[in-house]
């Protein structure tokens, strides 16, 4: 990571740890962030959406988007970049969660959350569903900083990659649906 970005990342993360942490949030955010382990929260939400005809497209779009995000983020970029976690770099940093993955960049939790949220925002039938998905993604991304398992640039990159994957998930799902409709007509 370029030195200027590393210094800025460290400063912002330390500011969050020093100024935003409090006993109530110290209990909430570690639990919430753990719900994103392996994308579980968002995978379960996508499966739930698949169960209802009116939200099936949103669930499929989210699933495709999250799969793309997994391939791009966790299986490609993370091993190539191999950026260490904040607690390895910042001596004495009190992280509130741990990770078995030693690589920090980009955030897989943020990627999955935003792949889900953007796909749902583009395809869900109800406005409240779109808002809830985006709020859940933003909270997941922030939780990764709050518990100090990622630097801000990790989270921003994960969110950006996830957003693109969510767009692609919605697009691919629409292409498949349209092809299926044409096939049924002919």
pLDDT in tens, 157-174: 999 999 999 999 999 999
Distance between CA 100 and CA 139 in Å, rounded?
21
Please write the tens of the pLDDT for every residue from 5-26: 999 999 999 999 999 999 999 9
Predicted confidence at residue 76, as pLDDT, reads: 97
pLDDT at position 68, please?
A: 98
Contact present, 113 and 136 (Cβ < 8 Å): yes
Is the pLDDT at 116 greater than 90, yes or no?
A: yes
Helices (H) and strands (E) in the chain, counts: 9, 0
Mean pLDDT over residues 18-46, rounded?
96
The tokens for 115 are 């792949």
Mean pLDDT of 52-64: 98
Residue 80 phi, psi dihedral angles, 5° rounding: -70, -40
Name every residue whose Cβ is closer than 8 Å to that of residue 120 and which is 6 or more positions away in sequence.
Answer: 49, 58, 61, 62, 129, 130, 133, 166
CA dihedral 43, 46, 47, 49 (to 10 degrees): 160
Contact 61, 166 (CB under 8 A): yes
Tell me which residue of 28, 1, 29, 3 sits closest to 145, measured CA to CA: 29
Task: Tell me the HSE value of 147 on the side-chain side, using a 13 A CA sphere.
Answer: 22
Q: Please indicate whether residue 97 or residue 186 has the higher confidence score (pLDDT).
A: 97
User: Per-residue confidence at 1, pLDDT binned at 50, 70, 90?
Assistant: confident
Whether pLDDT at 184 is above 90: no
Q: Is the per-residue pLDDT at 73 higher than 90? A: yes
Q: How far is CA 43 from CA 3, 50, 101, 102, in A?
A: 36, 11, 19, 23
**Residue 49: left (phi > 0), alpha (psi -120 to 50), or beta?**
alpha
């Amino acid at each position: 990571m370029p030195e200027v970005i590393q210094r800025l990342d460290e400063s912002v993360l330390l500011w969050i740890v020093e100024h935003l942490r409090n006993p109530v949030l110290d209990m909430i955010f570690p639990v919430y962030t753990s719900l994103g382990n392996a994308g579980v929260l968002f995978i379960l939400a996508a499966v739930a959406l698949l169960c209802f005809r009116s939200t099936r497209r949103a669930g499929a779009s989210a699933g495709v988007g999250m799969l793309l995000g997994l391939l791009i983020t966790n299986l490609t970029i993370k091993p190539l970049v191999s950026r260490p976690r904040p607690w390895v770099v910042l001596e004495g940093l009190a992280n509130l969660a741990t990770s078995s993955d030693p690589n920090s960049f980009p955030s897989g939790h943020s990627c999955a959350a935003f792949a889900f949220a953007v796909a749902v925002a583009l395809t869900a039938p109800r406005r409240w569903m779109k808002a809830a998905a985006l709020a859940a993604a933003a909270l997941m991304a922030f939780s990764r900083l709050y518990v100090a398992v990622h630097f801000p640039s990790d989270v921003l990159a994960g969110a950006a990659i996830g957003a693109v994957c969510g767009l692609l998930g919605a697009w691919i799902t629409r292409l498949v649906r349209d092809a299926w409709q044409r096939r049924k007509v002919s």
